[in-house]
Chains A and B, each alone.
Chain A
């Protein structure tokens, strides 16, 4: 690519935590959802692990909170090119839910789905081993509805459209099935360090 005439870019410090093509959103946390924000009460919220599992399980708000707490502190990256450093989410590791539902040996992928109907696909390997969480706190506050509260999935090592807001469940499959944005031109995996933004990247 050619240099853009007269473009210097904002005065910047080198930041090794910034994946290619991203900028630091600092204190901003843009809201990017194409849906109406649902007013989903905690009493209405449930989380289900189903599909190719030994036992399909559904947790209520209180049952999910009874699992061992776990938190994520680190960075998040949105495909629209902002990143946010040192955020803190608290909830439960997805491993805790999966351990109880017991994925079948043939399960290789998952589709995460929201109470609104949003879907996104993930390789199962991206959801296990302490790399994914169901969270209900941001900082020390309840997760705001516009950011997916009362609870959302976070998979912070992938672009944030994978971190489904208003999470309702995950369904384990023996094949990959593209979700909402993935059917609409977005990359199936979405690794920010590989800059996997769109299908074909």
Chain B
């Protein structure tokens, strides 16, 4: 049942000359430079790191990069000889970096024209173009206690947050629940610490149960709420995002404090 408190009530109807407020947008938490978002910049691939059999991390030097917040994404484009252009949105995996670098972690999608180029053609020294950072709604500047739930490559923007938390030694609570098919498919497996719980849906190490993210996982994640409560960030396929966000709502997390990034 959709919470009636989230439906506009007659008393919240705004005056005729102004637009209704967007309730789930928390003021002051979104930082997007309109100028940089509109500008395409040249990016040079400097490093490729294998993460899993299907995913690799691509590091770029972007001299004009204006910086980003963990959770933001960028738009990347490739151009063919005949002028054909392909562009895609990708979440940024790296934490804010003052040296003008960004990292993307890309799955090799079957028949994917852009991910296919990255996984089979790209080499350090290659140039692509990108613009961003974009869409600060999913961003986490490190100012509020955060619950992160991701599946598959949905962990990418969440890892930017974990890395940011670590790099700045932030005291604000942070918890990550990450779902993968199996240990071999767990992206960034060697980087997780005490903040992370991994859930395996197909195969798991000895002694670890196999199954999808469930109410019990979410209950543990929400336990001992900090003052002011949690901000939840969910990222993954649409099916996973629907499942995980529903578990959060059922566990009492307010709908306007759940941010979702869905992969098509």
Contact = CB atoms under 8 A, between A and B. Distances in A.
Interface of B is mostly: mixed
B80 A3 contact: yes
A144 B84 CA distance: 34
A199 B264 contact: no
Interface range, A side = 35 or more
A78 to B, nearest CB: 9
A1 B17 contact: no
B137 interface: yes
A146 B23 CA distance: 19
A113 B8 contact: yes
Contacts of B262: 30-33
| B35, B37, B40, B136 — most chain A CB neighbours (10 Å) | B37
B13 to A, nearest CB: 7
B242 A119 contact: no
Interface string A167-199: 010010110010111011100000000000111
Interface stretch (B150-158, B183-191, B253-261): B253-261
Point out which of B2, B129, B136, B248 has the most chain A C-beta atoms below 10 A from its C-beta.
B2
B197 interface: no
A50 B259 contact: no
Nearest to B117: A7
B89 A81 contact: yes
Contacts, number: 183
B178 to A, nearest CB: 20
B225 interface: no
B22 A4 contact: no
B16 A52 contact: yes
Nearest to A45: B7
A201 to B, nearest CB: 5
A44 B8 CA distance: 11
A117 interface: yes
B245 interface: yes
A9 interface: yes
A171 B121 contact: no
Contacts of A50: 13, 16
A26 to B, nearest CB: 11
Interface residue tally on B, bucketed by range: 35 or more
Given A34-B137, A179-B19, A117 B117 contact: no
Contacts of A6: 117, 121-122, 126
A79 to B, nearest CB: 9
A51 B16 contact: yes
Nearest to B84: A9
A23 interface: yes
B242 to A, nearest CB: 6
Interface string B227-253: 000000000001001100110110000
Nearest to A171: B19
B121 A184 contact: no
A153 to B, nearest CB: 14
Given A35-B255, A146-B238, A173-B19, A199 B34 contact: yes
Contacts of A5: 121, 126-127
Contacts of B171: none
Nearest to A10: B113
Nearest to B27: A183
A30 to B, nearest CB: 3
A200 B8 contact: no
A138 interface: no
A198 B38 contact: yes
Contacts of A20: 85
B259 A34 contact: yes
Given A36-B249, A117-B256, A31 B264 contact: yes
Given A1-B40, A4-B117, A200-B38, A34 B138 contact: yes
B81 interface: yes
Given A113-B20, A199-B37, 5 more contacts: A3-B81, A10-B113, A20-B85, A40-B7, A198-B131
8 contacts: A1-B85, A6-B126, A31-B264, A116-B23, A119-B20, A177-B19, A184-B30, A198-B131
Top 10 closest A-B pairs, CB basis? A30-B264, A200-B38, A117-B23, A111-B19, A185-B32, A199-B34, A6-B121, A10-B113, A4-B78, A31-B238
